[in-house]
Structure 1
Amino acid sequence: MRKTNLLLGNLAIATLYYLGARLGFLLSISDGNASSVWPPSGMTLAAVLLGGYRLWPGIWLGALLANIHNLLSAEQPWFVAVAVACGTSTGATLEPLTGAWLNQRWCGKGNHLFDQGHNIIKFVAAEALSCTTSPTLGVLSLCLGGYVPWSAFGYSWFTWWIGDLTGVLVLTPLILTWFHPSLNFIARIFTFGWHGRLNGSKLAECVLWLLLVGIIANVAFRFKYPIEYLMIPLLVWAALRFGKRGATLAIFLVAAIAIIGSVYGVSSFIRSTLYESLLLLQAFVASVTVTTLVLSAVINERESAKAELEKANHELEYRVEKRTAELKEANAEITRLNERLQAENLRMADELAVTRKLQQMILPRQSELESIDQLEIAGFMEPATEVGGDYYDVLKQDGRIKIGIGDVTGHGLESGVLMIMVQAAVRTLQASNETDPVKFLQVINQIVYDNVQRMNSDKNLSLALLDYQGGMLRLSGQHEQTIVVRTGGVVERIDTIDLGFPIGLEEDIGDFVSYADVELHPGDVVVLYTDGITEAENTLGVQYGLERLCEVVSRNWQKSASEIRQAAIDDLRRHIGKQKIYDDITLVIFKQK
């Protein structure tokens, strides 16, 4: 099917070339075969740009037939006529191929050759260059064959060249702008590229335009008044009002009128020789054609820019409307989420309040602390959030007193739940009379570790347990340093780093647990705390520090445990000032009676 279409296309091009050549030969100068206006040059260039380089056989065949028909009538042998025809046909074929290649290279491929002003200039330059091919080979062949004397080579070459160029300038834009494979060509004459068919006002405008062209042509060609350039305002009118197709059709009509008038000798271009007359004609046609094409392209660029701007404006409006709708929907979704979040916050607040209440409930009561004969004990715990992760407890069992303090990583609900687990485990082991500190911490670690794994949590805690009986204090577990203030305010600090391991971090910590014994005398004070005290920062980012805590306790050692606790908390609050508290604060003070 493709081969059939290609064959038919080449035959059609050959036929059109032959018919166009017959018309062109009518405009040849008297002493040669060079035509001043050559229609096939414009037709073949348009054909190659639209149909591709594969149409070259049809161009060559049409040129060969036209040239043989013209040359056989001369007094030369037939084989000379055929040889000369082959030479001129080769030049006629190379010309549109070269022109198409230059245009595609300089202006790009596609149907936008006449849409931009700079492309028009490139088009004229490309064709001025490519149109040298046919006259060079053609006139050379005619001179070698004896059809044109060598003395007329220059005149014939120049006339041939400008005739081909004029044919390209007039016909190629017309064919390229009007050609459309899916619509009838004749129907396009009545649309002129407007949006929709001709309405009454446009039809009247066309009739008026044609009437004015007829009047100017009649005056110029009938009475030979040199007013042909009055056609230029009409061409500007066509470019402004009728678009690109209207402009190319107007160029064709004006050029056709000027050429026909000159051929019949009824125009102001007529001079003493046909050669001179046709050169004046070509100058007129070329100048009005290029001017109109450039103007049409500039107008088309303006209209395209306007259309793009309107399109961008519509697109922007659409996007704004779409974005507004999206924002409205997003705002509605945010409102719904806020409502759900508020409800969830209320629910969580209730749950946190319950958990905090549980924490407060399991802390040792003041009556329990006062019931211990050997020690005077005071405790303080303040969570950074609704639920804290700090732990402290005081348990009494068969004359033995166990004091515990711990700090779960982080704070909040999960840390608070873990603290309750530890309190329950310590109380259970204490009630079961477990006295081995190593085994005690190992069992607590196993319970916490198993629960943390079940919770899929990464929580763990530092935990120190102090067993007191008869003035002796046994300390086990890893936590902050334990402060012992002797009578007179002398401070001792016991490091617990080697007495245990973080609870819940490893499954077995038995090898890491140890203990240390401390003897207490009447008036000695022991201070237990979490890092929420020592690492508390003021507004300048300065931490409270362990040294300052030791100084406060040392200055107040002679006071009661409650008074020492209050002095330490008051000093801590003075240090913090208006700075936000980020960690739980726990402090336990007990004093040997």
Structure 2
Amino acid sequence: MAAVAGTPDLRRAAVRALQALAVAACYFAAGRLGLLRHLAVEEAVVSPIWPPTGFAVACFLILGPGSWPGIALGAFLVTATVGPLGPDAIGTTAGSTLAPLCAYLMLRRVGFRTDLSRLRDGLALVFLAALTAMLLSATVGVTSLVLVGKLAVHSVGYVWLAWWVGDAMGVLIVTPILLMLYTVRGPPGLSRWKEALALTLVAGGLVPLATRSSVSLLFLVYPLLIWAALRFRLAGSMPCALLACVLATVAATDHNGPFERLTPVEVMIKLQAFNGSMALTALLLSAVIAEQRNIRLSVEQACQELAEVLEHLTAGDAPPGRAPTDDDEGRGRSGAR
């Protein structure tokens, strides 16, 4: 009996271990992707968009808080590839794990829905998960670097801001896309595929032009986001925002296009202002449209049910789901006379 009882426990432990390894591998891959374009200040490395943070928040929302070992392991592995390991690696790993976990707890506290079908869900993701919870990771990470002497005091403000914004951008861009992929139910119809193809072609031509032109044309991306949000909601607006943010980051780190002849501080400010406005526009506009659509569908369903009830009452029958009463029979006899 002991062996039989122990087998399920071993199986569950093996499943949890495999899940932790899979989460750590995905986190590490997202980290390596984020390090392709980064900003170095002394010995601190920060990324304008840090995808692992967005992945971690989505992972907690989908798999639950029990996925924290995989997040911690992935964060430690990413830190180990950036430079020589030291005591600061523990602080960085702790901040990278605790901040997404705090985001998850705050989102659950306010009744967050992973389908992002309400405006309150979009606002919660922006102000709680991205802007508030990521203060923890930036503060813990920068403090760890200062304590071990890897970061000068005069660079703390700049590195802290870049760290915080990079983590917040990861939540604003990556988390909605992963949640959308998790909740998707099926492909759109043929007519929508044609429009989706047209949107893809326009985005493929317009976004590189706006991010590479020496003339400041970044504003051209906004009509594209509005079109995508109105017609496809999150499924259209967030990929467009991701494309715009990635290409803008590439142009900024190369000092090309609208980021040419700018100082590093000016590049960071302009880039993060553009990326943040793209993410906020795509996320909040899509949430508003989804909420209005759900309200319209609810009103249409209520009107349909009311019409069916009135139809039965007019015909002298009892409404569906209710047994006929003496009043119903009396109305029926009166109608017969």
Q: Same fold by TM (over 0.5)?
A: yes
Cα offset, 1:225, TM superposition: 2.0
**Residue 99 of structure 2, aligned match among 73, 90, 95:** 95
2:281 aligns with 291
Give the whole-Å Cα distance in 2 for the aligned partners of 1:305 and 1:94: 36
1:56 to 2:43 alignment: no
| SS state at 2:79 partner | helix
Per-residue deviation, residues 283-328 of structure 1 (Å, max 9, x unmatched): 1111121122221111112111110011111211233344446349
| 1:254-403 to 2 correspondences below 5 Å | 254-323=244-313, 324=315, 326-327=317-318
Match of 2:90 in 1: 86
Amino acid at match of 1:121: L
Distance in 1 of aligned mates of 2:153 and 2:180: 40
Query: Does 1:150 find its partner at 2:162?
Result: no
Q: Say which of 144, 159, 164 aligns to 1:161.
A: 164
What pairs up with 1:6-17 in 2 under 5 angstroms?
A: 6-17=16-27
8 Å contact from structure 2 (residues 145, 151) kept in 1: yes
Q: How many residues are treated as equivalent by the alignment? A: 315
The aligned residue for residue 125 of structure 1 is: 127
**Partner residue in 1 for 2:182:** 179
Letter in 1 for 2:227: W
- Paired residue for 1:446? none
- Given the alignment, which residue of 196, 200, 210 partners 1:206? 196
On the 8 A contact 2:117/2:291 being kept in 1, the answer is yes
* Residue matched to 1:137: 140
What's the offset of the Cα at 1:209? 1.9
**Separation in 1 of the partners of 2:34 and 2:332?**
81
Matched residue, 1:39: 51
Equivalents in 2 of 1:335, 1:223: separation in Å?
A: 76
In the TM superposition, what is the alpha-carbon distance from 1:2 to its structure 2 partner?
3.8
For residues 551-585 of structure 1, the C-alpha deviation after alignment (integer angstroms, 9 at most, x for no partner) is xxxxxxxxxxxxxxxxxxxxxxxxxxxxxxxxxxx
1:493-508 matches, cutoff 5 A: none
Q: Does the 8 Å CA contact 1:45/1:99 hold for their aligned counterparts? A: yes
1:69 Cα offset (Å): 1.8
Q: Distance in 2 between matches of 1:10 and 1:271?
A: 45
In the other structure, the counterpart of 1:517 is none
- Secondary structure at the residue paired with 1:289? helix
Query: Is the 1:135–1:160 contact (alpha carbons within 8 Å) kept by the matching residues of 2?
Result: yes
2:45 aligned counterpart, secondary structure: coil
State the distance in 2 between where 1:128 and 1:223 align.
31
Alpha-carbon distance between aligned partners in 2 of 1:327 and 1:150, rounded to the nearest angstrom: 79
Cα distance in 2 for partners of 1:336, 1:18 equals 73
Q: 1:243 aligns with which of 233, 238, 241?
A: 233
Displacement of 1:337 in angstroms is 9.3
* Larger radius of gyration between Structure 1 and Structure 2: 1
Alignment of 1:523-534 (within 5 A): none
One-letter code of the match for 2:243?
Answer: L
Whole-Å separation in 2 of the counterparts to 1:28 and 1:273 = 15
Q: Does the aligned pair in 1 maintain the 2:40–2:46 contact within 8 Å?
A: no
d(CA) in 1 for partners of 2:33 and 2:328?
76
Q: For 2:50, give the aligned amino acid.
A: W
CA distance in 2, matches of 1:216, 1:335: 67
- Contact kept, 8 Å, 1:17 with 1:62, in 2: the verdict is yes
Q: Which amino acid aligns with 2:250?
A: I
After TM superposition, give the deviation of residue 231 of structure 1 in Å: 0.5
Task: Determine the C-alpha separation between the residues in 1 that align with 2:303 and 2:332.
Answer: 34
Q: Which amino acid counterpart does residue 101 of structure 1 have in structure 2?
A: L
Query: C-alpha displacement at 1:282, in angstroms?
Result: 1.3
Q: CA deviation at 1:332?
A: 8.9
TM-score, normalised to structure 1's length? 0.50
Instruction: Tell me, in whole angstroms, the C-alpha distance in 2 between the residues paired with 1:332 and 1:51.
Output: 53
- Give the match for residue 424 of structure 1: none
Map of 1:116 onto structure 2 = 118
Gaps of 5+ in 1: 73-80, 192-196, 339-593
Alignment-mate amino acid for residue 11 of structure 1: L
Aligned partner of 2:213 in structure 1 is: 223
Deviation at 1:232, TM superposition (A): 0.5
Q: Distance in 1 between matches of 2:252 and 2:331?
A: 83
Which amino acid letter does the alignment assign opposite residue 307 of structure 1?
Answer: L
Q: State how far apart, in whole Å, the 2-side matches of 1:66 and 1:261 are.
A: 24
Three-state SS of the structure 1 residue aligned to 2:39 is: coil
SS at match of 1:49: helix
Aligned partners of 1:41 and 1:96 also within 8 Å: yes
CA contact (8 A) 1:68 1:82 kept: no
CA offsets 1:429-449 (integer angstroms, 9 cap, x no match): xxxxxxxxxxxxxxxxxxxxx
More strand by share: 1
What is the distance in 2 between the residues matched to 1:221 and 1:296? 23
Q: Secondary structure at the match of 1:132?
A: helix
Q: 1:302 to 1:332 in 2, by over 3 A?
A: closer
Cα distance in 2, alignment partners of residues 248 and 98 from structure 1: 24
Cα gap change, 1:332 to 1:294, in 2 (>3 Å): closer
Per the alignment, do residues 248 and 336 of structure 1 end up closer, same or farther by CA in structure 2, a change over 3 Å counting? Answer: closer
- Aligned residue runs from structure 1 range 390-539, under 5 A: none
Superposition TM-score, scaled by structure 2 size: 0.85
In the TM superposition, what whole-angstrom CA distance separates every residue of 1:391-424 from its partner, at most 9, and x where no partner exists?
xxxxxxxxxxxxxxxxxxxxxxxxxxxxxxxxxx
User: How far does residue 59 in structure 1 lie from its aligned partner after superposition?
Assistant: 0.7
Q: Which amino acid aligns with 1:282?
A: Q
